[in-house]
């Protein structure tokens, strides 16, 4: 686990070396927070989402918050938008995945350095109700992203690790406007 000072050091290192990042699931809770943090660190970011579970207001909040976040120099909305492009698309489409591997701004294009893959269809009930769609997004879509990243020669592809089951209550956040204070990891079963 990173200490506060180690985290600040990592942020300074990232800020000092602008890169191009692709955040899949950018309109989700985690994706939009990644977007905000990267923009506040002066990074170029491509957001990719199909809005199956994400929300447009999360993207707007990320841009708004990135301009004044973490005590850094305030940046104008147009400055932030020059570092950000959004693709409304689905990771189940291999061509969308390939297109997302290049940041475009006017006549300038840059390859993606890092992929932060957050796109997925969560929810056990949804997976039971519609296992085909869940598999297509979570398995086929993931594979499409891996192949596109490999072909684009990205430096690193990062996926979320398995997390402990959460005691999900109606108060748990699914958008940036709600706090996670009522979500608690479920206790491990005793053996």
What dihedral angle (degrees, nearest 10) is formed by the CA atoms of 56, 173, 185, 129? -60
Reading the block at residue 21, the tokens are 């990042």
pTM of structure: 0.81
pLDDT at 138: 92
Whole-number Cα distances in Å, 167 to 11, 65, 182: 31, 29, 9
Whole-number Cα distances in Å, 57 to 46, 61, 175: 17, 6, 8
Q: Which of 118, 141, 161 is nearest to 24 (CA)?
A: 118
The Cα 85–Cα 49 span in angstroms is 12
pLDDT digits (tens, 9 = 90+) for 15-69: 999 999 999 999 999 999 999 999 999 999 999 999 999 999 999 999 988 887 5
The Cα 34–Cα 28 span in angstroms is 10
Please give the share of the chain, as a percent, with pLDDT higher than 90.
61
pLDDT digits (tens, 9 = 90+) for 14-30: 999 999 999 999 999 99
Per-residue pLDDT band for 166 (boundaries 50, 70, 90) equals: very low
pLDDT digits (tens, 9 = 90+) for 103-112: 887 788 999 9
Q: Is the pLDDT of residue 92 over 80?
A: yes
71 backbone φψ class: left, alpha, beta (φ>0; ψ -120 to 50): left
């Amino acid at each position: 686990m990173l200490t506060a000072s180690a985290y600040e050091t990592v942020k300074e290192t990232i800020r000092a070396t602008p890169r191009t990042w692709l955040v899949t699931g950018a309109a989700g809770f985690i994706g939009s927070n990644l977007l905000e943090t990267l923009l506040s660190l002066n990074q170029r970011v491509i957001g990719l989402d199909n809005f199956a579970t994400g929300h447009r207001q999360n993207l707007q909040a990320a841009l708004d918050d990135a301009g004044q976040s973490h005590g850094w120099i305030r940046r104008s909305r147009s400055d932030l938008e020059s570092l950000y492009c959004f693709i409304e698309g689905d990771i189940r489409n291999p061509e969308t995945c390939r297109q997302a591997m290049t940041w475009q701004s006017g006549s300038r294009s840059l390859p993606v350095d890092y992929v932060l893959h957050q796109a997925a269809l969560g929810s056990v009930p949804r997976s039971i109700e519609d296992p085909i769609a869940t598999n297509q997004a979570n398995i086929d879509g993931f594979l499409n992203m891996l192949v596109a990243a490999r072909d684009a020669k990205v430096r690193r592809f990062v996926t979320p690790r398995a997390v402990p089951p959460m005691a999900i209550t109606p108060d748990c956040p699914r958008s940036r406007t709600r706090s996670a204070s009522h979500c608690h990891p479920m206790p491990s079963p005793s053996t």
